Structure 1
Amino acid sequence: MSTERISSTASQSPLSIVWPMLVIAGLALTLRPTITSTGPLLEEIRLSTGMGLQAASLLVVLPMLCMGVFPLLLPWVGKRLSESAWITGGLIAIALAGVWRLGLGSGWALIASALIGGTGIAIVQAMAPGVVKRWYPKRVPLAMGIYSASLMAGGGIAATLSPLVAKHYSSWQAGLGIWLIVPVVALLMWWFRPSETMETKHNSVPVNFFKNRRAWLLASYFGLANAGYACMIAFLPTYARGLGWSAQSSGELIGIMTIFQVIGALGAPALSSSRLDRRPWLFFAVGIQIAGFVGLILLPESMLIVWAAMIGCGLGACFSLTLTVALDHLSIPKLAGALTAFVQGIGFIITAIVPYLAGVLREGTGSFQAVWMMLLITLICMLIVTIKFKPSSYAKAINVTDI
């Protein structure tokens, strides 16, 4: 068992139950504004910097790659510093990316800021599920739901408000850089987190999930689930603007999608918390996305808001449920955290590839329909794979003695 615990004194006060959750939510809020703030301003960014769609896709692809690489290295590099030091460093990197964006003027500088911010995001995101499992071992679905909802809310708020900030200051740089405030606040919250009986180095150990089929299945599932999100935040605003929407309206469309993501991220884990079998809700999460993308292909203009809302609800539910299912496989927080790190690592590498392929498809076909069709096919594959996540298979699929 993990040697770190919330102190027993703190655990007796009502504030100690709520405050750790607020800290987790604060960390989660930092994890998407760096990425989602660029989508609604992409036309202005491209006009100012001369970036093409494939180069612009790197603003999403590079952070996603960082999210993939760092969790895989965590078992080896994590033990060199404490968990607190890693999370502090990650939040500082996200803030520095925001500071840089306030004054940059070239496309490559913007891409470099995405790399710095993405590194910070990757660090915080890799550590967070282990913190959730340790602080709320008996409330994992609820805690992961709030973490996931906060993560998505941060992305949606940034997408919605960035055009307003950019318009107010007549600068797209201001619309991107304003989000340095969020990691600064999160850093203060992290410094005043609940005291624990022991502050140790991050005690991840090299665990060999690379040879485990279930770990790869979970990682692939998670990666494809997030690929839809990455493509939507990267290209939905541009798609909407091609249909005549303004920068502000396209940002609000992401905001609407995010509201339903939050509903899905909170609702699905809460509704599934009474039973270990999460598959009925996973079927719902994937199925509603399929319906949304079918609508996006067949009736894109007349019901765009409806399709975005349906896709958002499914994305939110899928994100939190997939991480919850990964945590369900192992009862020991340290091992569960290592598994989710692997799932996120491989998963986000898969996620990073898909938006780039989407950019190639878009430029090759001149239409986003091919992109939506690609995502629809991945969702159909996920629907079939969901059958395999039967709780009675967990112990056999990932045997502690084998890792």
Structure 2
Amino acid sequence: MMGLMAGKETETATSTTARTTAPERSSGTATRAWAVRLVVVGIVLSAVNLRPAITSLGALLEEVRDGLGMSGSVAGLLTSVPPLCFAVFGVMAPRLARRFGPAAVVCAGMAAVTAGLLIRPYAGSTAGFLAGSALALMGIAVSNVLMPVIVKRWFPDRVGSMTGLYSMALAAGTSVAAAVTVPLTDALGGSWQTGLAVWAGLAAVAVLPWVPLVRDRGTAPAPEAEAPGRAGRQQPALRITRSRTAWALAVFFGLQATAAYITMGWMAQIFRDAGVSASTAGLLLAVTMVMGVPLAFVIPRVATRLPHQGPIVIALGICGLAGYAGLYLAPAGGAWAWAVLLGISNCAFPLALTMVGMRARTGAGVAQLSAFAQSTGYLISIPGPLLVGVLYQHSGGWGLPIALMVGLMIPQMAVGVLAGRDRIVEDEAAATA
């Protein structure tokens, strides 16, 4: 009798558990699907806002210089502020993400971008302009570092396609800002302050998808983030600086960032000095940026299918060298061709992001590699735009600055080939311990 009663109780408990578990599992699946869609929207909107703060300034740099009374050297310093902020603030991103969660950090980052873009045009001085720019760029910096982390953890089996989507959205935001800033400024009354401040509205929209995810301290449910049986196991610390691949990737990231920020900050001015109108120069910069829209989606997908990404690095570098040669020999005559070639070359950025996701095995490894490669890389890139401004001011032309760009492309190709080898940073760091 006791055994029969126990059997009935077990059967009742089991049936009750089955009845309650099924709806809970269904509810959890629905919640996860909703969260995944929200993450995708957040990634796209955030990526769109990672460069307008820079390219909108590039399109109006001459007006900003005149309005604030900047010299060429100070303007060069202004174009060096983005990589400086990315280097300084980007290294903080993994620590902030561990404490507050990646979604909360990106949400705060987009809010900082909004505030910075509103403040800087109306600060009334060069120092105030730089401070507002730094606030916006701080938000961009932490988002830069955490995007590959979020992609790796939420979409571990789709790193290539999601990195491509993120890079494509980034390129779209970059090119749209470059293309429409000048005509939008004219339509709004011709004030460069209004032309720069209007981009704060787009940044404000990017805050919204992250708000419901702010309390989520992890970036993915535990079954996908950790393998079974490993959730409670302490992972050994990764000494990222012991990995040769990490260093190669950091230098590659730095040199491609140097080329990108020189292009975004100065290319429109090169064309304007060659006799091209301001609006056309803005369109040429937009063409350079818009080349990244389709290629930023294609290149990461191709890269994840190759055992070695070196051939892609070489092809992009050759396009860059050809574009620089054209800027030197016939900047106005072949302007559209040089804009296209330099746009192709700038797709080293999505390739570098893809390699960050491929060169580390775990989510924590990607976070460390992303922070190290981007912070070190942006630190390396700081002198480039500033040096271009100094060379331009003291030589009175673009010959020496373009020679500098060519000189930096060669080592970029070399370290890119090293970074593209099929290596895992965790294995390299462990082997040298």
Per the TM superposition, whether the score is higher than 0.5 is yes
**1:238 equivalent among 269, 277, 285:** 269
Change (3 A) 1:199 1:105: same
Return the letter of the residue paired with 1:186: A
Corresponding residue of 1:184: 204
1:99 aligns with 2:118: yes
Return the letter of the residue paired with 2:157: K
Corresponding residue of 1:175: 195
Corresponding residue of 1:3: none
How far off its partner does 1:194 sit?
Answer: 11
Change (3 A) 1:98 1:271: same
Contact 1:40 1:163 in 2 (8 A): yes
> SS state of the match for residue 331, structure 1?
coil
Change (3 A) 1:323 1:198: closer
**2:322 equivalent among 270, 291, 302:** 291
Q: Equivalents in 1 of 2:266, 2:420: separation in Å?
A: 35
Return the letter of the residue paired with 1:61: S
1:23 aligns with 2:42: yes
Corresponding residue of 2:5: none
Corresponding residue of 1:143: 162
Contact 2:288 2:344 in 1 (8 A): yes
Q: Equivalents in 1 of 2:240, 2:305: separation in Å?
A: 29
How far off its partner does 1:270 sit?
Answer: 2.3
**2:349 equivalent among 308, 313, 319:** 319
Q: Equivalents in 2 of 1:63, 1:233: separation in Å?
A: 11
**Deviating 4+ runs (over 4 angstroms):** 10-13, 15-19, 75-78, 192-200, 203-207, 400-403
Change (3 A) 1:70 1:205: farther
Q: Deviations over 1:257-280 (max 9, x none)?
A: 111122321221223332332222
**1:351 equivalent among 381, 387, 391:** 381
Q: Deviations over 1:11-39 (max 9, x none)?
A: 985x7765533321111111111111111
Contact 1:82 1:199 in 2 (8 A): yes
How far off its partner does 1:234 sit?
Answer: 0.8
Computing the radius of gyration over CA atoms, which structure comes out larger, 1 or 2? 2
Q: Equivalents in 2 of 1:338, 1:197: separation in Å?
A: 17
* TM-score (norm. length: structure 2): 0.83
Q: Equivalents in 1 of 2:382, 2:192: separation in Å?
A: 24
Contact 1:38 1:176 in 2 (8 A): yes
Equivalence map 1:305-316=2 (5 Å) = 305-316=336-347
1:380 aligns with 2:410: yes
> SS state of the match for residue 337, structure 1?
helix
Aligned-CA RMSD value: 2.7
**1:218 equivalent among 249, 252, 255:** 249
Q: Deviations over 1:328-349 (max 9, x none)?
A: 1112112112101110000011
**1:116 equivalent among 110, 117, 135:** 135
Return the letter of the residue paired with 1:347: G
How far off its partner does 1:135 sit?
Answer: 1.4
Task: Give the unaligned 5+ runs of structure 1.
Answer: 1-6
1:208 aligns with 2:228: no
How far off its partner does 1:181 sit?
Answer: 1.2
Change (3 A) 1:17 1:280: farther
1:342 aligns with 2:380: no
Corresponding residue of 2:359: 329
How far off its partner does 1:294 sit?
Answer: 1.8
Q: Equivalents in 2 of 1:162, 1:220: separation in Å?
A: 32
Contact 1:265 1:313 in 2 (8 A): no
Identity of counterpart residues, as a percentage? 28
Corresponding residue of 1:274: 305
Return the letter of the residue paired with 1:365: S
> SS state of the match for residue 305, structure 2?
coil
Change (3 A) 1:397 1:59: farther
Q: Equivalents in 2 of 1:16, 1:178: separation in Å?
A: 30
Q: Equivalents in 1 of 2:425, 2:242: separation in Å?
A: 16
How far off its partner does 1:208 sit?
Answer: 2.9
The worse-fitting range, judged by mean Cα deviation, of 379-388 and 295-304 is: 379-388
Q: Equivalents in 1 of 2:172, 2:219: separation in Å?
A: 30
Corresponding residue of 1:165: 184
Corresponding residue of 2:13: none
Contact 2:252 2:377 in 1 (8 A): yes
The worse-fitting range, judged by mean Cα deviation, of 377-386 and 360-369 is: 377-386
Return the letter of the residue paired with 1:330: A
How far off its partner does 1:57 sit?
Answer: 2.4
Change (3 A) 1:248 1:377: same
Q: Deviations over 1:105-159 (max 9, x none)?
A: 3222211211111111112112111001111111111111221221222122112
> SS state of the match for residue 150, structure 1?
helix
Q: Equivalents in 2 of 1:390, 1:126: separation in Å?
A: 20
Change (3 A) 1:401 1:56: same
How far off its partner does 1:321 sit?
Answer: 1.1
Q: Equivalents in 2 of 1:154, 1:389: separation in Å?
A: 27
**1:152 equivalent among 171, 192, 199:** 171
Return the letter of the residue paired with 2:299: A
Q: Equivalents in 2 of 1:333, 1:164: separation in Å?
A: 43
How far off its partner does 1:305 sit?
Answer: 1.4
Change (3 A) 1:139 1:11: farther
Corresponding residue of 1:86: 105
Corresponding residue of 1:58: 77
Return the letter of the residue paired with 2:379: I
Equivalence map 1:40-59=2 (5 Å) = 40-59=59-78
Change (3 A) 1:198 1:397: closer
Corresponding residue of 1:4: none
> SS state of the match for residue 244, structure 1?
coil
Return the letter of the residue paired with 1:137: P
Corresponding residue of 2:396: 366
> SS state of the match for residue 91, structure 1?
helix
How far off its partner does 1:84 sit?
Answer: 2.7
| Count of aligned pairs between the two proteins | 393
How far off its partner does 1:307 sit?
Answer: 0.8
How far off its partner does 1:235 sit?
Answer: 0.7
Return the letter of the residue paired with 2:101: S
